[in-house]
């Protein structure tokens, strides 16, 4: 069962220690539905430094919503990816634009993972989602 962003936020915010927070994040990564191998193309690879992150973006014309599938070879980034997906999946482009991942990550005490020095691709991933939403909302 995939958790909603609200559920995720609740368990991370209420983690008693940072270790518990990371445990929760890694668990989210584990629960992420597998990304089909055919979608792991070079263009799906988010340019990052250390960890490999794939993100596939599509647009559901009928529902007018974003469909995001992703994967990573590290547990922590995969968990963070699961949070980003929970945040944005199924939103309309207008809703995506209004959703500030930076503010949400900051609220959850995960802001250091969005800093450019981490090189984990999370920031690039959010930028990719936002730019697709911007294209669609035109």
Partner 1 sequence: MFDVEKIRADFPALKQLINEQPLVYLDSAATTQKPQAVIAATEQFYARNNANVHRGRHTLSEQATLAYEQARATVAAFFNITANELVWTKGATEAINLVTNGLSEQLDNQSTIVISALEHHANIVPWQQLAKRTGATLLTLPLQQNGRFNVEQCVNFIEQHKPTVLAITHASNALGNITPLETILHAAKLQHTITLVDGAQAALHLQPNLQQLGCDFYVFSAHKMLGPTGLGGLYGRYERLNSLAVYQTGGEMIETVTLTETTFRQAPAKFESGTPNIAAVIAFSAAIKYLVSLDKTNVYTHEQAIFNYAVEKLQLIDGITIYSDINNNIGTLCFNYKDEHPFDIATLLDGYGVAVRSGHHCAQPLMQHLGINGSVRASFAFYNNHKDVDLFIAALQECIALLD
Binding part of the chain for partner 1, among 32-40, 47-55, 84-92, 122-130 by CB under 8 A, reads: 47-55
**Residue 18 interacts with partner 1 (CB under 8 A): yes or no:** yes
**Residue 51 interacts with partner 1 (CB under 8 A): yes or no:** yes
Comparing CB distances to partner 1, the nearer of 24 and 90 is 24
Going by C-beta distance under 8 Å and a sequence separation of 6 or more, which residues neighbour residue 92?
Answer: 64, 65, 66
Question: Would you list the DSSP string of 30-85?
Answer: HHSPPPPGGG--GGGB---SSS-EEEEEEEETTTTEEEEEEEESSHHHHHHHHHHH
Binding part of the chain for partner 1, among 43-51, 61-69, 81-89, 102-110 by CB under 8 A, reads: 43-51
Question: Looking only at residues 105 through 124 of this chain, which bind partner 1 when binding is defined by CB under 8 A?
Answer: 120
Binding part of the chain for partner 1, among 8-16, 46-54, 93-101, 125-133 by CB under 8 A, reads: 46-54
Q: Is 49 in the active site?
A: yes
Count Cβ atoms below 10 Å from residue 66 Cβ, excluding itself: 22
Return d(Cα 2, Cα 65) in angstroms, integer.
18
With CB under 8 A as the rule, give the number of residues binding partner 1. 14
Note whether 51 and 59 are within 8 A (CB).
no
Question: Looking only at residues 62 through 91 of this chain, which bind partner 1 when binding is defined by CB under 8 A?
Answer: 73-77
Binding interface with partner 1 (CB under 8 A)? 18-19, 22-23, 26, 49-51, 73-77, 120
């Amino acid at each position: 069962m995939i958790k909603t962003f609200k559920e995720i936020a609740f368990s991370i915010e209420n983690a008693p220690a940072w270790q518990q927070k990371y445990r929760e994040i890694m668990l989210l990564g584990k629960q992420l539905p597998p990304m089909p191998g055919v979608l792991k193309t070079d263009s799906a690879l988010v340019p990052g430094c250390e960890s490999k992150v794939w993100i596939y973006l599509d647009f559901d014309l009928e529902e007018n919503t974003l469909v995001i599938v992703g994967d990573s070879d590290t547990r922590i980034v995969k968990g963070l990816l699961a949070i980003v997906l929970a945040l944005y999946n199924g939103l309309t482009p207008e809703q995506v634009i209004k959703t500030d991942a930076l503010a949400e990550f900051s609220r959850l005490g995960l802001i250091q993972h969005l800093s450019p020095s981490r090189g984990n691709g999370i920031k690039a991933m959010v930028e990719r989602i936002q730019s697709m939403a911007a294209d669609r909302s035109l």
